[in-house]
Amino acid sequence: MATFLPQFQSIKTAFDHVVLAVEDVSDLWPTVKKEFQERLPFKRVFLNNKTHNSVLVNELPAEYILTTDSRLRSRFPQEQSLFWFREPYATIVLVTCEDLDEFKNILKPRLKHIVQNDEKEWFIVFVSKAPAHSDQATKMAKKVYAKLEVDFNTKKRERCCKFDLYGPESHFWEDLEGKIMECIRNTLDRRIQFYEEEIRKLSEQRFMPIWNFCNFFILKESLAFMFEIAHLHEDALREYDELELCYLETVNMIGRQRDFGGLERGDDQAMLLDTGRKALTQIVQDDSFREFEFRQYLFACQAKLLFKLNRPYEVASRGYSFIISFSKALAQHESILPFCMREIWVITACSALASASASHYEDGLAPLDVEKEFFRVQGELYALCRTKFMRLGYLIGYGSDIERSPVNSASLSMLPWPKPAVWPSLPPDASSEVLAKEKMILQESPRPKHFGIQRKPLPLEPSVLLREANRRRASLSAGNMFELIEGRPNSNDSSGPQSSMPKASTLSMSRTFSSPGNFEGSIDRPMRLAEIYVAAEHALKASVSDATLWNSLSSVEEFEKRYLDLSKGAANNYHRSWWKRHGVVLDGEIASVYHKHENYDVAANLYEKVCALYAGEGWEHLLAEVLPNLAECQKILSDQAGYLSSCVRLLSLDKSLFLTKERQAFQSEVVRLAHSEMEHPVPLDVSSLITFSGSQGPPLELCDGDPGTLSVTLWSGFPDDITLESLSVTLTATNNTDEGAKAIKRSEPVVLSPGRNNIALSLPPQKPGSYVLGVLTGQIGQLRFRSHSFSKGGPADTDDFMSYEKPTRPILKVAEPRPLVDLAAAVSSGLLMNESQWVGVIVRPIDYSLKGAVLHVDTGPGLSIESTHGIEIEKHEVEPQSKASFDNQPNDGSALGDEIKQLSLEDSKIKLPDWTSNITSVLWIPLRAASDGLPKGTPAGTAVSQRQNIVDGLRTIALKLDFGVSHNQTFEKTIAVHFTDPLHVSTSLADKCSDGNLLLQVILQSQVKASLVIHDAWLDLQDGLSHAGKGDGRPASNFFPLTVSPKSRAGILFSICLSEVPTTGEASELHPDNILHIRYSISGSRKLGAHGPIAEELTASNDNKTACLTFRSVLALKRPVLDPFLAVGFLSLPSTGLRVGQFVTMKWRVERLKDSEENEPSDYLDEVLYEIKVNSENWMIAGRKRGYVSLSKKQGSRIVISILCLPLVAGYVRPPQLGLPNVGDANISCNPPGPHLVCIMPPTLSSSYCIPAT
């Protein structure tokens, strides 16, 4: 089977479509050929893939070929089975007939013979030549076609279709395409099954000695190529993937080791995208293929299919992975391959793959994540190509032209040297080239860094090239070991120590070693570095077959040009991917090339991007490498602002990154520019260099309007002292974002030392709020600077440590919401109405001095100051009072201690003494609350409105306190004080006595927190009432003096009787009200509430006699109803009891107890209004709940009120109640009648509610 390999490759090259065979029975093909071929290729058809799933094919190319064509007849049976993919997929039989007899005798037998082969997919196209105007010919054609359908159509499949040459086409072409697609699908299924079976048989033998990979390859690729012809590219790609896995599994089997390949001229150029670079017959070896060429061939086939599937991203992604893995395979065979074959192949592979995938990629068609990943892989390809290209350049002596940057050092120092079996030897006629290389080495001098910065160059090699090359030589002279290690002139080995040999001796030694006479027998001595460069260059020239690549290595200029192109390609693709930082880093490499060639403008722009990335990521070590280059470009471009900013950024980096003299050079440049005349001065941001914070400890606390001194700590990052011509700090209020920042300036020069500096700033009065440090601004020479960073110089566990993540600590608090003083009433309730009382005002300073304070007092309506008495002040002491001490409290005159001082009131102002400036004191002011009218008593049991009582006795005092420096602080407050009567009076009339008199009970309720002693009481009655007995208005019994404790009650009993109400003419003076007079004395403390009047206190303190006061109250009395005229009774319930759901009748009997009188209300005469009160959750009323009933005026008349009720719940419930709304309770006897609770039984059981047990 392997002998068919050349034929198979030629077929693949020339064959790319589906073949449709045409059996022209009636010589019709020349007539219909044009119309058939015009509809090729087929559009949007569905085919079955390997898993029998329907796949949409947008375009299927096909070709009609007659069965008599030589291309179909000149094939051997073995070729047909092996290359079955090129056999016809359908056979179209073209026939025509105009007579039934001809059809039966001639056409039908011939068709039977043609279609008897079961392996062919066929169908018949009947071509009708009947003219459209001939009905007879048309009918005959229809009869013949109908007979054709009967003979060749089956129930499962229709194999006939009709084409009218002169008639309408109708749906013929859709029918034709459908039958062709059906044949192609069936043929594909049959051939796939055949190939799968054959492949399975061979796969089972792959670990056996008889295994032949070529046979397996031909079958597997034939199947893949058949899928490719049918445009089933996914299935074809899957076959190539399986073919690659099978090859990798069997290529390195023990006992089957074969040549790797790659030794021919031109093999250094990757053929990842060219399947026809080498014929398969050239790479076949025994029963398999050489790995070097065959693996590239398989990837080229996969890439071609992926491009057809419009998936260039996958080509790039797979290609990058393939290059990495294949490079490892090259490394394993590096000893047999040409010099640097691995590096050259990777360069050509990456370049070709990146270019091809980019040319097939269309922007905007792929999803965003796929697009980003595609450009990332493109960047990886360019970066890998760039690294390998730098390695080749270093081998031929271009190492000094490669920037020794961190990224280049990381890439090249981890990349191993080539490992040939023997390092290339120096050609015999290369002495001039060696001299040129040595001259170039001697002229090499590292480009000095700006500011005189000295750095050890970063390495660009994994080990010393001189040692590595000589180690791999065939022989090594031990006598020249000194030359091997230290005798090379100004070696580029950056990883070793620099030679301290004088330049003159170095030059002399190098000239000696470079003499032409030394080339004889050079194999016996170590090669010098220049000789290694020349030998590597000659070896590379023999290995590189790509003229473009060799041209890039031919000179330093061409090398830099290619290096720049690769760096730009990698950077641009990284910028369009997720890995934007990689692109910015490579921008720095591009900038170094422009910097070297003095293109400072472009270099500065690229360096700025790199510095911004390193600064944002916090990579200070990398920033220290690039930032001096940016500063140098800016200085050359006369960009003073940028240069100044770069100098500040260099100073702000970690101190360990630069020497002290280098940092001093940075500072000198800053000072020089600051004191020079800048053309375009701009504010300088020194946030990373000068930081600031508040002082240690709590923030400075001031009150509104008070000045102070603010202490600020500045941390200087300058290496030397620096003078600030001016300095200002802004304060920002944290509680008001709308208010702008306030600047605190210091105009005197300030000298900042390195490290910590404490600065004191005068603080003018600020508005209330909490303030934080905002921005530090100032001036160095002519330059204004700005800093908005907080100090990070202190330890992390101290207040000096300020980080960017730590919230800003307040430095100043101006207390607005905090009150500086508080005024309150010592006692706010329970003072006596209409009597002079001490009202205490507590003055409490809150962490603020009240020295020189003045209190303004303004009394409200109904309240006045007793000007005849002085004002007292004393220290306020909170002492708990015993509840049982009211009765024995001394009067306020004896409570005045030694510390009580007398003050005077002038124009409603009181000046507080200085000794009260920092302590809480009580100011006692004599006040009198006046009330119009007399208090009114209430009947016993009547609810008294406490709210109204409080409102009537409430009085207000407006206080205003001026304090602070020059009285700039003011505190105003209005306090409320409640005055009340000493007693509350309530009355109750009792029934008649045996002599017809009435008993009036007067209840006295104490309303003050003091003991009251009642010495006497008398009652002035209204007209119609008179006193019984003596008639002097005194109580019936004399228990005076009567002591009433605080909040307690006492009772007085009067005996009165009814009398005739005098007419207007008879009475000289009418008495409409009942007035109760009570003479009492009070014993209380002004610190608790009510106490004796001020004037009487003074009297009591002189003659030790108790002063008596008089209290009067109006009593409202009604003549009592002594004989009710109605009786209501509840009739008994039925003896059977009450049940839920059963109606029951509730009955009440109403009886008149006496005859109607003329003075009775009319509502009590003929009709009585009744109302039933019931809980709707327990009872349902069947009837009226409210109505009138007739009741006779005569004594003894009766009536029964009946209501039908329905119990709703079981248990003890309250029954319905009968009420008479228009009749007072005093006129009804035995109301409310009836039981308190009644028992309701549950309902009786019913079978309709029973549920049978399961």
- Please spell the DSSP secondary structure of 366-384, one letter per residue: S-HHHHHHHHHHHHHHHHH
Range of weakest confidence among 299-303, 365-369, 531-535, 1079-1083: 365-369
Q: Extract the tokens encoding 213.
A: 């990979």
H/E run at residue 45: strand 42-48
- Name the 3-class secondary structure at 225: helix
Reported as a pLDDT band with limits 50, 70 and 90, residue 1223 is: confident
Q: Quick one: which of 573, 283, 568, 538 has its CA closest to 427?
A: 538
Question: Which residues lie closer than 8 Å to 683 by C-beta, 6 or more apart?
Answer: 784, 785, 786
Specify the residue for token string 């709940």.
Answer: 1185
- Which run of H or E residues covers position 470? helix 465-471
Does residue 804 have a pLDDT over 70?
no
pLDDT tens-digit profile of 363-402? Answer: 778 888 889 999 999 999 999 999 999 999 999 988 888 8
Task: Tell me which of 868 and 227 has the higher pLDDT.
Answer: 227
Return all residues near 600 (Cβ < 8 A) that are at least 6 apart.
594, 633, 636, 637
Least reliable range by pLDDT among 485-499, 872-886, 1050-1064: 485-499
Q: What does the pLDDT average to over 848-877?
A: 87
Tokens representing 35 are 């119309």
Q: What three-state secondary structure class fits 431?
A: helix
Contact 688, 652 (CB under 8 A): yes
**Spatial CB neighbours of 559, under 8 Å, sequence gap ≥ 6:** 393, 398, 401, 552, 553
Least confident of 128-132, 212-216, 884-888, 1077-1081: 884-888
- Report which secondary-structure segment, H or E, holds 643: helix 640-652
CA 1253 from chain centre, in angstroms, equals 61
User: Of 243, 384, 248, nearest to 323 (Cα)?
Assistant: 384
Answer whether 101's CB lies under 8 Å from 109's CB: no
Average pLDDT over residues 90-119: 83
Using the structure block, give the residue that is written with the tokens 């507080």: 912
The two structure tokens encoding residue 916: 């009260």
Asked if 1085 contacts 895 with a C-beta cutoff of 8 angstroms, the reply is yes
> In the prediction, which pLDDT does 487 show?
37
Query: Which tokens is 1071 given?
Result: 């008495």
Q: Quick one: 861 exposed, middle or buried, by C-beta within 10 A (0-12, 13-18, 19+)?
A: exposed
* Nearest by Cα to 1140 from 1243, 1029, 1039, 992: 1243
CA distances from 856 to 863, 917, 971 (A): 16, 17, 10
Q: How far apart are CA 603 and CA 450, in angstroms?
A: 15
Res 493 pLDDT > 60? no
Gap between the terminal Cα atoms of the chain: 83
The percent of residues above 70 in pLDDT, for the chain, comes to: 84
The yes-or-no verdict on residue 225 having pLDDT over 50 is: yes
- The overall average pLDDT reported for the chain is 81
Helix (H, G, I), strand (E, B) or coil at 750: strand
Position 677 scores a pLDDT of 76
Q: Is the pLDDT of residue 519 over 80?
A: no
pLDDT at 492: 38
Q: What is the dihedral of CA 530, 534, 539, 543, to 10 degrees?
A: 110
Q: Contact 192/223 with Cβ under 8 angstroms?
A: yes
Instruction: Please determine, for residue 958, whether its predicted confidence score (pLDDT) is greater than 90.
Output: yes
Integer Cα distance of 837 and 929 in angstroms: 8
C-alpha radius of gyration, the chain, whole number: 60
Q: What is the dihedral of CA 370, 376, 379, 381, to 10 degrees?
A: -80
Secondary element (H or E) of residue 93: strand 90-95
509 pLDDT higher than 80: no
Decide: residue 1222, CB within 10 A, 0-12 exposed, 13-18 middle, 19+ buried.
Answer: middle
For residue 763, what are the β-bridge partners?
Answer: 708
Average pLDDT over residues 461-482: 66
Q: With 70 as the cut, is the pLDDT of residue 870 above it?
A: yes
Position 1128 pLDDT exceeds 70 = yes
**pLDDT computed for residue 946 by the predictor:** 56
DSSP state of 106: I
pLDDT of 510 = 37
Residue 73 confidence (pLDDT) = 64
Residue bearing tokens 């003078």: 723
- Report pLDDT for 610: 93
> Long-range contacts made by residues 702-705, C-beta under 8 angstroms, separation at least 24?
702/763, 702/766, 702/812, 702/813, 702/814, 702/815, 703/814, 703/815, 703/820, 703/848, 703/964, 703/969, 704/765, 704/766, 704/767, 704/768, 704/814, 704/815, 704/816, 704/969, 705/765, 705/964, 705/968, 705/969
Residues 6+ apart with CB under 8 A from 778: 724, 725, 726, 727, 728, 750, 784, 785
Is the peptide bond preceding residue 1041 cis, with omega within 30 degrees of 0? yes
Q: What are φ and ψ of residue 967, in 5° steps?
A: 55, 45
| DSSP letter (8 states) at residue 416 | P
Q: Which two tokens stand for residue 327?
A: 């490079």
**1182: β partners:** 1204
**How many Cα atoms occupy the beta-carbon half-sphere of 1151 within 13 Å?**
11
Least confident among 113-117, 403-407, 498-502, 1016-1020: 498-502
DSSP 936: B
Residue-wise pLDDT for 127-169, tens only, equals 888 777 777 788 888 888 888 888 888 878 888 888 888 777 7
Kindly state the helix (H) or strand (E) to which residue 410 belongs, with its residue range: helix 406-413
CB atoms within 10 A of CB 172: 16
Contacts of 1054 (CB under 8 A, 6+ apart): 999, 1000, 1002, 1019, 1027, 1035, 1036
